[in-house]
């Protein structure tokens, strides 16, 4: 998953008017952002697990585990990424999230 460079690592205070102007309802907007944050979190977790799986061997036990420099750097990279909720909020505010209104289809 590619993260845009202009996303802050820390939380930013937002105006409620900025969040609800797209949907007309702050709760719907937060629900959309939360669902996207869950998707981002799942993508990042599977990507990290895929990269870390290269370092595991089936014969490793707790006593035989040693520090691997590359593995530590990969873990640190993912720790420094912005949180999924912040990424999802930025995507929502930049109109990069596609969503459907479930009430309209009857």
Residue 9 included in any domain: no
Closest CA to 26 of 35, 15, 37: 15
Cα gap 95→36, rounded to integer Å: 13
Cα gap 29→37, rounded to integer Å: 12
Residue 105 included in any domain: no
Residue 54 included in any domain: yes
Predicted confidence at residue 4, as pLDDT, reads: 67
Domain span holding position 39? 16-93
Residue 8 included in any domain: no
Predicted confidence at residue 106, as pLDDT, reads: 39
Residue 104 included in any domain: no
Residue 106 included in any domain: no
Number of domains in the chain: 1
- In which residue are the tokens 């420094």 written? 80
Residue 100 included in any domain: no
Predicted confidence at residue 32, as pLDDT, reads: 94
State phi, psi for 63 to the nearest 5 degrees. Answer: -75, -30
Could you list the pLDDT tens digit for every one of the 106 residues in the chain?
A: 767 667 777 777 888 888 888 888 899 999 999 999 999 999 999 999 998 887 776 665 555 456 678 888 888 888 889 999 999 998 999 888 888 877 654 3
Residue 10 included in any domain: no
């Amino acid at each position: 998953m590619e993260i845009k460079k202009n996303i802050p690592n820390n939380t930013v205070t937002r105006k409620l008017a900025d969040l609800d102007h797209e949907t007309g309802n702050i709760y719907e907007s937060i629900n959309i952002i939360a669902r996207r944050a869950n998707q981002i979190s799942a993508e990042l977790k599977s990507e990290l697990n895929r990269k870390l799986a290269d370092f595991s061997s089936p014969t490793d036990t707790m006593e035989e585990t040693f520090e691997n420099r590359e593995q530590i750097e990969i873990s640190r990279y993912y720790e420094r990424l912005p949180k999924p909720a912040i990424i999802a909020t930025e995507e929502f505010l930049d109109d990069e999230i596609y969503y459907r209104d479930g009430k309209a289809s009857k």
